[in-house]
Amino acid sequence: MLNQLLLTSLLFENLFVKITRRYTFLFVLFVLLLTACVVRPIDRTPYQQAAYYKETISDLKQHPVVVTQGDTVQVGWSKINITPPAGTPLAGYGKRMGMTYEAVHDSAWVRTFAFSNGKTQAYYIALDMLIVPMEVLQQLEKEYPRLGLQPEQVYLTATHSHTSFGGWGKNIGIKLMSGKYSEDLVERLVQQIIESMQQAHAHLQPTKLGYGSTSAASLVRNRLLDDSDNPYYGDRHNRDTQLRFIKFERKDGTIAILSAFAAHPTILPSMVPTLSRDYPGVLVDTLETRFNFASFSAGAVGSHSAIYFEGDTYESTKVVGGRLAKLLREDLLHVHTAYVHTLGYSRTPLELPKPNMRISKDLRLAPYLFNFIFGEHPAYVTSLQLGDLVFLGAPADYSGEFVKQIEQQADTQGLKAIVTSFNGGYIGYITPDKYYDLDEYETRSMNFFGPYSGSFLTEIILRQLKQHKP
């Protein structure tokens, strides 16, 4: 009897071991298959060899820059309050988890310039928002035909305030940054932008233009290079320190200012439920105490942050915005204005590689999973030319480290260049390729399209710039 029990026990033990081994094998196989479905190696194929690069070069030829010489350029401007009601989500930080704002410290606006030289017209639009939302861009493009416009005639920008409103993103990943989607909010915003365009166009007048640029080095840092573990630590000259602006002057003495600066408006605390424009609001409001109209756009803000010493407070935004306004006013005295006749614009579709959002140094999320989380949206490189000045728009947090190269190219062409970010698409942070393998927020978490995004996008911008003529 004892022997039979031992034999039975051994049989059950062997059976259990076989079953355990079999299911362990199946579990391991399942994990491996699952990993293969959601993880891919980083694609390090040089971008010049890739199909997306060749397609974008073809797009440049098919969508050439339009440059017209006509009558004196007329300019009009307008602003409309776009602040939605309390209870709307804030946009800018995922840790807010869709937090809504309860109060408004200073309102959000759309500020629009209209231009016409008799042969064509164009618009420059700056939103007091984190970005120009993709959903807003798509809805705007449905409205352009009734205004007699093509999309390339409308140059879009944003201030990039991280304490402005959200509610404009449909996909899971975008909702993390901008809160619950509101179709009504998007529709209302689109109509407000259209109204601002119509108002600006209704006030067109012959207007002189002048370009200015002044150093604001004490107010901006390259935060990517501030980590002492970073091999590039201390390379602080790799930043864009210029506050650039356009002075618009009419015969009756009316003056408007359009400015751009490359420091992130992230001074204010992330978890306070109050809407604000951050330091750009102070800059614009201060200028409007002296001049008739002012507008601000985020420059090449990738990795660039404001320098401030009063903590994450409104006092700090007051100091930064106020000092920028003072610098601009002082340099404005030396800006010569003149009537111009050249008006140009372009919009080139930017073909992209498959997403390379990393989870480690050499591994990325499978492209289909990235697209499910963030969606697939078109991206463009845009430009707007006024006289010998060219605005260049990027669909990204575009790094100020590229600006020197772009300005040097513009100079060889007898042009001035101002780079702005957030033109209606968004492809993440674009930083120099040499930083790609750094384990930093900008280069690891927010680089969505691979190790050569910086060189690729910059080359396309430069190629587009070369099509502009003074």
Q: Name the token pair of 365.
A: 């999320």
Q: What's residue 35's pLDDT? A: 52
Q: Are residues 289 and 389 in the same domain?
A: yes
Q: Are residues 35 and 172 in the same domain?
A: no
pLDDT tens digits along 73-111: 999 999 999 999 999 999 989 898 889 999 999 999 999
Q: What's residue 295's pLDDT? A: 98
pLDDT tens digits along 185-210: 999 999 999 999 999 999 999 999 99
- Taking residues 30-47, report their average pLDDT: 70
CA distance 441 to 439: 7
Query: What are φ and ψ of residue 67, in 5° steps?
Result: -125, 120
Q: Are residues 385 and 435 in the same domain?
A: yes
For the whole model, what pTM was predicted?
0.91
Q: Using CB atoms within 10 A of its CB, is residue 467 exposed (0-12), middle (13-18) or buried (19+)?
A: buried
Q: What's residue 234's pLDDT? A: 60
Say if residue 23's pLDDT is above 90: no
- Taking residues 12-17, report their average pLDDT: 50
**Helix (H/G/I), strand (E/B), else coil: 374:** helix
CA distance 165 to 95: 15
Q: What's residue 97's pLDDT? A: 87
CA dihedral 303, 308, 312, 314 (to 10 degrees): -120
Neighbours of 198 (CB within 10 A): 14
Say if residue 424's pLDDT is above 70: yes
pLDDT tens digits along 273-291: 999 999 999 999 999 999 9
399 vs 3 pLDDT, higher one:
399
Q: 160 in the Ramachandran plot: left (φ > 0), alpha (ψ -120 to 50) or beta?
A: left
According to DSSP, the β-strands at 103-104 and 274-275 are parallel
> How many structural domains are present in the chain?
2
In this prediction, residue 4 has a pLDDT band, given cuts at 50, 70 and 90, of low
Cβ proximity of 171 and 374 under 8 Å: yes
E strand spans, 21-141 = 39-41, 66-69, 74-81, 90-91, 103-104, 109-116, 121-127
**Helix (H/G/I), strand (E/B), else coil: 189:** helix
| Least confident segment among 24-33, 231-240, 386-395 | 24-33
Q: Are residues 29 and 155 in the same domain?
A: no
- Taking residues 317-344, report their average pLDDT: 97
The 8 Å CB, 24+ separation contacts for 53-57 are 53/351, 53/456, 55/351, 56/348, 56/349, 56/350, 56/351, 56/460, 57/463
Q: What's residue 34's pLDDT? A: 45
Q: Are residues 9 and 104 in the same domain?
A: no
What distances in angstroms separate CA 223 from CA 261, 271, 445, one per listed residue?
15, 21, 15
Q: Are residues 239 and 359 in the same domain?
A: yes
Say if residue 19's pLDDT is above 70: no
According to DSSP, the β-strands at 154-158 and 380-386 are unpaired
Q: Are residues 223 and 106 in the same domain?
A: yes
E strand spans, 230-314 = 242-249, 255-261, 274-275, 293-298, 304-306
Instruction: Report the candidate in 250, 193, 198, 194 with the shortest Cα–Cα distance to residue 74.
Output: 250
Q: Are residues 140 and 32 in the same domain?
A: no
E strand spans, 136-266 = 154-158, 164-165, 205-206, 208-215, 220-222, 242-249, 255-261
Q: Are residues 35 and 59 in the same domain?
A: no
Instruction: Report the candidate in 234, 292, 331 with the shortest Cα–Cα distance to residue 111.
Output: 292
Average predicted confidence (pLDDT) for the chain: 91
CA distance 98 to 257: 34
pLDDT tens digits along 293-304: 999 999 999 999
Q: Are residues 36 and 99 in the same domain?
A: no
In this prediction, residue 227 has a pLDDT band, given cuts at 50, 70 and 90, of low
Q: What's residue 236's pLDDT? A: 58
Instruction: Determine the structural domain holding residue 36 and report its residue range.
Output: 2-41
Q: Are residues 218 and 273 in the same domain?
A: yes
- Taking residues 142-156, report their average pLDDT: 97
Q: What's residue 306's pLDDT? A: 96
Q: Are residues 65 and 110 in the same domain?
A: yes
CA distance 121 to 343: 8
- Taking residues 254-262, report their average pLDDT: 98
